[in-house]
Amino acid sequence: MIRTLLLTSAMMVAAPALAQQAAPADPAAQAAQPAAPASPAEPQAAQPANPANSVAAIVESEFPAYDTNKDGQLDQGEFSRWMVALKDQEMKATGKTLPPAEVTAWASGAFTTADADKSISVSKPELISYLSGSAGA
């Protein structure tokens, strides 16, 4: 569920960029724009944003706020603070609640899953993989 919330957030961030790629509906505005030569090798439809790239952008921007010791890795405490914050956002969005002990247990399990190389820390690539849904899949 947290991955769904994160991907939904990422898509909302990408939506304005996708909307800017749409052609104007006003025929006068279309006439004012020079015609681009058609190329059969290039698709004309707008491509959806890659969710993995959106997750990577979010991780890149938010990682320094949670990496309190600035070592480029998240230890279990740092990782748990981030995951609890995401879980809190999810619970507010869905109206569901969990007892604090369950949230803590969930964050601990998430850390174990995200720490793919079992180094007792989570790197940016590991976090991106975990949040993109490719960890343990």
Kindly state whether residue 6 falls inside one of the protein's structural domains: no
Q: Where are the beta strands (DSSP E) in 23-116?
A: none
Q: Does residue 41 form part of some domain?
A: no
The residue segments making up the domain with residue 97 are 51-135
Q: Collapse the DSSP code of 74 into the 3-class scheme (helix H, G, I; strand E, B; otherwise coil) and give the result.
A: strand
Contact at 8 Å (CB) between 5 and 11?
A: no
Q: Alpha-carbon distance 47 to 49, whole Å? A: 6
Provide the domain count of the chain: 1
Identify whether 100 is part of a domain: yes
Residue 24 pLDDT more than 90?
Answer: no
Nearest to 131 by CA among 113, 105, 106, 119: 113
Give 3-state DSSP helix, strand, coil % of the chain, rounded to 5. Answer: 60, 0, 35
pTM to 2 decimal places: 0.61
Asked if 110 and 95 touch (Cβ cutoff 8 Å), the reply is no
pLDDT in tens, 25-60: 444 444 444 444 444 444 444 444 565 678 899 999
Asked if the structure places residue 96 within a domain, the reply is: yes
Tell me the two tokens of residue 69.
Answer: 């010791």
Q: What is the reported pLDDT for 66?
A: 95
Mean pLDDT of the chain, nearest integer: 75
Does residue 97 belong to any structural domain of this protein? yes
User: Mean pLDDT over residues 97-115, rounded?
Assistant: 93
- Lowest average pLDDT, out of 4-8, 37-41, 106-110, goes to 37-41
Residue 18 contacts residue 48 (beta carbons within 8 Å): yes
Q: Domain of 65: which CATH number?
A: 1.10.238.10
Tell which wins on pLDDT, 24 or 80.
80
Alpha carbon distance 127, 61 (integer Å): 13
121 located within any domain: yes
Residue 94 maps to a domain:
yes
Query: Does pLDDT of 68 surpass 60?
Result: yes
